[in-house]
Chains A and B, each alone.
Chain A
Amino acid sequence: MEKIIQKSAFPQWLKSLQAFKIFLPKRANYGWELNLNHEVQEIPEDYTYPVVPPKKLIFPQEEIFFEFEQNPEDGIKLKEILPEAEQQVIFGVRPCDGLAVKAMDLVFGGTYEDPYYWRRRRQTILVGLACSQPPSENCFCLSVEGSPSSEEGLDILLTDLGDRYFVKALTEQGKSLLSAASSLFNEPDPRDREAREKIHLEAEKKIKRHLSSARELPEKIKAIFDSDFWDEESLNCLRCGICTYLCPTCHCFDINDETKSLAPLKGRRVRTWDTCQFPDFTMHSSGHNPRPDRASRLRQRLSHKFLYFILLFDRFQCVGCGRCVTLCPVGIDIIEVLTRASNHGA
């Protein structure tokens, strides 16, 4: 379903969605964030993308699984906690971040569905915004089967045509958001379609960074698994969690029992984000650590995205958003490292 909405009517559209929690891009001191904010009724012109990707609204950094409590009569009692099922609409999701949600769906879906993830996911509607400009100078979505106007993972894709948005509803959920205020939407005319097409094409040309032959990477990475290549490439690495915590597709987690009292036993079981870049991620109870150094951790991060995920799901686990490149405090650049991996020994 394709429609046009004037930007001046955008606040009214938001008003028609009062039954939902609405997230909109908001400028913070550190960059953009997705904010539960009903005062700002528009997507700002200079919006790029949020520093912390939208994954945190579906896969929050902290998830309480259950509470436990011991009492003399019944022994230990468990109380399951499932996330509150509130419907949420996220505006301003960039196509790369939409693609990333799709990749997350594969991880948390399949034979064993993660109930915590899906409770939130099924209540979430993603309203994408096609990139007219690359949000970052390190964007490289075209190299990993994405694009500034890709639709996968999104429910609606908006394209900014200046004074109006071209609205393409991609799913039933997306269509339902339009029917909530159908009078605000008009049929697009051929000129609108032409303008949209042009913006999408121009946007692709503005992307500066590229990774060549990404589909050949699995073999290349496999071939240098034991190489000292990784030692050299990881010399700078600080072993912090920036590249993974701010990655829209990284999804690894840890589960801890947080004990509030030992006698009587009382506490809760909590899932939190975790990352392969922390040394304790693979630490065994014996004290042995199968990934003992930065080299093996960098290799893991890249192999997961460009080797294992492809073997499992036939797609990249990297959407080319460039956050890990831009935000790495010591300039580790995934595009460069992979390019060198490709050429290594050649």
Chain B
Amino acid sequence: MVSLEQLKEEVKKILSSGNIKYFIGYENFSSGWQVRPAFIRKPEDVDRLVWTPACFHNLVRFLHDEKRRRAREKNPDTRPVGLIVKGCDSRAINVLIQEKYIERKDVYLIGVSCELMGVIDELKLKRHLPGLKPRKILFSPKETIKVITDDDKEIEIEASEILADRCLECPANFPVVADIILGEKIKKKVTSPYQSISPYEKMSVEERWSFWQEQFSRCLRCYACRSVCPMCYCDECVADSIVYAVTADTTAEEKAQKIKWVERNPEPSENTFYHLVRAIHLAGRCVDCGECERVCPVEIPLRLLNKKLEKEARELFGYEVGFDASQPPLIACFRDNDPQDFIR
């Protein structure tokens, strides 16, 4: 099991050394059992850190902000940023290195092994504890998750009952890149890594279309899925109605010629277009951290789209995302034996 004390110790050590700019971990949220990302600058603040089954956030996403901040400042502090990475998060680091968005030296990584656990799914937890309010959620040594309720009841729940689908389907429970790794490397057997998409694969095209139309019709275009995604770092997105890359030199004509691929209105056609563009742009890049689906306020099952494309990349190109930072990205490479029967 990952020891919180050891985690705090390591963070304290690296912060005291002055070798990192700040450290991103998790801290308790103001009310309830939730945690949230915490930015720690001083060694004496490490006691804010927590490590619980609710640490689902992929902190890699905050490297976008750091990169933008550096670009704005005249004399930026270029020391690495420290952060906690789970297996999936560490694969996101590799993808960003592959794509030359960051360099390995930009980050100091404390990897945590998920061992045979993972992080919980909030909806599953709610369904599992009808009428009860969790106050604290903790890992328990017996592959169970311990929930302490508002009225001080202790409940042990079989982890598989409330873990996120992505964790249940994830065989890569150990960080692939890190400076230090906490927790044990335990081999995990996953019998059906694509279980969640299989019912949809069995549907006819028409059934799938109507399923997704119904899902997308709820979309509010709050763009939380895009904002939380470690891979959605474009300065300019087709979904936006203006070009962020406008500078003082951009001519009026250039501005006017910006093609509107997708309108701002939340009609099903525009919502569908937005989500499909995002899904396609994540093919061979998505590490299945599940954040897009978690943050959606109307619970659109976005992970299904990404999981399907992950499977396509694996079956068609033998490509697995984020395991090797030295290989070229899927979409930026070509091999003679790549399948090409689709070319007519």
Binding site for B on A (CB under 8 A): 28-30, 51-52, 61-62, 137-138, 208-209, 232, 235-236, 238-242, 245-246, 254, 256, 258-259, 270, 272-273, 275, 278-280, 283, 285-288, 292-294, 325, 327, 329-333, 335-336
Contacts and interface: CB of A to CB of B under 8 A. Distances in A.
B299 A30 contact: yes
Given A208-B31, A236-B39, A246-B220, 7 more contacts: A51-B297, A62-B267, A238-B224, A241-B223, A245-B220, A258-B263, A259-B260
Interface stretch (B181-189, B239-247, B278-286): B239-247
3 shortest interchain CB distances as A-B pairs:
A331-B36, A241-B222, A240-B224
B32 A137 contact: yes
A29 B123 CA distance: 9
Given A209-B31, A240-B295, A52 B220 contact: yes
B37 interface: yes
B337 interface: no
A84 to B, nearest CB: 17
B264 A272 contact: yes
Interface of A is mostly: loop
Contact of B31 (A137, A270, A283, A329): A137
Query: Which interface residue of A242, A256, A275, A293 has the most chain B CB atoms within 10 A?
Result: A242
Contacts of B227: 238-240
Contact of A278 (B62, B72, B223, B297): B223
B283 to A, nearest CB: 23
Contact of A286 (B32, B37, B240, B248): B248
Contacts of B296: 30
Interface of B is mostly: loop
A143 B285 CA distance: 46
Nearest to A289: B244
B57 A283 contact: no
A238 B227 CA distance: 5
Given A29-B299, A236-B36, A333-B29, A258 B265 contact: yes
Interface in B261-313: 263-267, 291, 294-299
Given A241-B224, A279-B244, A51 B298 contact: yes
Contact of B34 (A30, A238, A331): A331
Given A287-B246, A287-B247, A270 B294 contact: no
B294 A272 contact: no
Contact of B295 (A28, A285, A329): A329
Given A239-B227, A280-B241, A287-B248, A272 B31 contact: no
Contact of A246 (B36, B62, B246, B297): B297
Interface of B: 29-32, 34-37, 39, 57, 61-62, 65, 72, 133, 218, 220-224, 226-228, 240-242, 244, 246-248, 250, 255, 260, 263-267, 291, 294-299
A331 B35 contact: yes
A137 B255 CA distance: 46
A64 B161 CA distance: 46
9 contacts: A62-B267, A238-B61, A242-B295, A256-B263, A259-B260, A270-B265, A285-B255, A288-B248, A329-B57
A62 B297 contact: no
Contacts of A292: 72
A327 B297 contact: yes
Contact of A336 (B30, B39, B223): B30
A322 B310 CA distance: 37
A294 B291 CA distance: 20
Given A241-B223, A246-B297, A330-B57, A138 B242 contact: no
B28 to A, nearest CB: 9
B224 A256 contact: no
Contacts of A61: 220-221, 265-266
A270 B264 contact: yes
A294 B296 CA distance: 20
Contact of A283 (B30, B62, B242, B299): B242
A95 B267 CA distance: 30
Please indicate which of the listed interface residues B242, B260, B264, B298 has the most CB atoms of chain A within 10 Å of its own CB: B264
A191 to B, nearest CB: 29
Contacts of B246: 283, 285-287
A138 B31 contact: yes
Contacts of A336: 30
B294 A329 contact: yes
A242 B220 CA distance: 9
Contacts of A327: 297
A272 B270 CA distance: 13
Given A240-B295, A241-B223, A335 B240 contact: no
Contact of A256 (B65, B248, B264, B291): B264
A272 B265 contact: yes
A270 B295 contact: no
